């Protein structure tokens, strides 16, 4: 569909380590993506709203959203994990909340696109990122990994795991904010 990710469904995701050392032009992202910030500090504008991001942050960008790095204090190092949003959401929605309501994935990612992970959550996110890297390789080396048995199931499972980790962190952030 035109309103959702156009990432090739035969490849459910991609992994790329990146570094940004200066402000960027605005980008429109046709694919959903997570950015796991591994170092540096910068201001990332998402959908027109500025967010200061640094090591330990996890950023969720939905399909067709815009981003722009407007200021860089220290070069921003991150793992970029692009993925087919509809497939991952469908898999995540197979499970419901304790109230038996569907998970509010898009709404939560739109309302809280940047979360700072606890030490334990960061360790889990790094483990997921490393597993995705081992399964997918980088974009430049992706051809050699095509056709690996059960790759789609593994990638989907890892991305659902990362999505749930993000949603839990976003929920915790919202709960802590309402207590103040």
Helix axes 151-179, 85-92, angle to 10 degrees: 70
pLDDT bin (cut points 50, 70, 90) of residue 147 is: low
Other beta carbons within 10 angstroms of residue 7's beta carbon come to 21
Q: Give, as one character, the DSSP assignment of residue 16.
A: E
Distance separating the N- and C-terminal Cα atoms of the chain: 41
pLDDT in tens, 61-71: 999 999 999 99
Q: What is the mean pLDDT of the chain?
A: 85
What pLDDT, in 10s, does the model give residues 69-91? 999 999 999 999 999 898 888 88
Report the pLDDT averaged over residues 96-111: 78
Q: Is the dihedral of CA 4, 105, 40, 157 positive or negative?
A: negative
Per-residue pLDDT, 172:
85
Q: How far apart are CA 34 and CA 36, in angstroms?
A: 6
| pLDDT recorded at residue 22 | 97
Distance in angstroms (rounded) separating the CA atoms of residues 55 and 38: 5
Least confident interval from 5-9, 10-14, 91-95? 5-9
Q: Is the pLDDT of residue 173 over 60?
A: no
Mean pLDDT score, 122-140 = 89
Phi and psi, residue 52, nearest 5°? -80, 125
**Higher model confidence: residue 56 or residue 176?**
56
Closest CA to 33 of 70, 6, 71, 1: 6
pTM for this one? 0.85
Helix (H) or strand (E) segment spanning residue 149:
none
| Residue 9, pLDDT score | 47
Residue 100 pLDDT > 70, yes or no? no
Bridge partners for 102 per DSSP = 96
The answer to whether the CB of 135 falls within 8 A of the CB of 81 is: no
């Amino acid at each position: 569909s035109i309103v959702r990710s156009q990432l090739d469904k035969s490849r459910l995701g991609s992994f790329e380590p990146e570094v940004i050392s200066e402000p960027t032009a605005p980008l429109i992202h046709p694919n959903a993506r997570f950015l796991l910030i591994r170092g540096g500090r910068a201001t990332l504008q998402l959908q027109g709203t500025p967010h200061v991001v640094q090591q330990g942050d996890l950023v969720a960008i939905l399909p067709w959203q815009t981003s722009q790095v407007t200021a860089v204090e220290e070069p921003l190092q991150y793992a970029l994990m692009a993925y087919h949003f509809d497939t991952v959401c469908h898999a995540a929605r197979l499970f419901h909340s304790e109230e038996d309501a569907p998970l509010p994935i898009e709404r939560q990612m739109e309302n809280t696109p940047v979360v700072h992970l606890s030490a334990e959550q960061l360790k889990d996110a790094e483990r997921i990122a490393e597993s995705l890297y081992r399964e997918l390789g980088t974009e430049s080396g992706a051809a050699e990994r095509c056709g690996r048995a059960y790759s789609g199931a593994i990638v989907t499972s890892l991305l659902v795991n990362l999505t749930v980790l993000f949603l839990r962190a976003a929920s915790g952030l919202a709960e802590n904010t309402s207590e103040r």
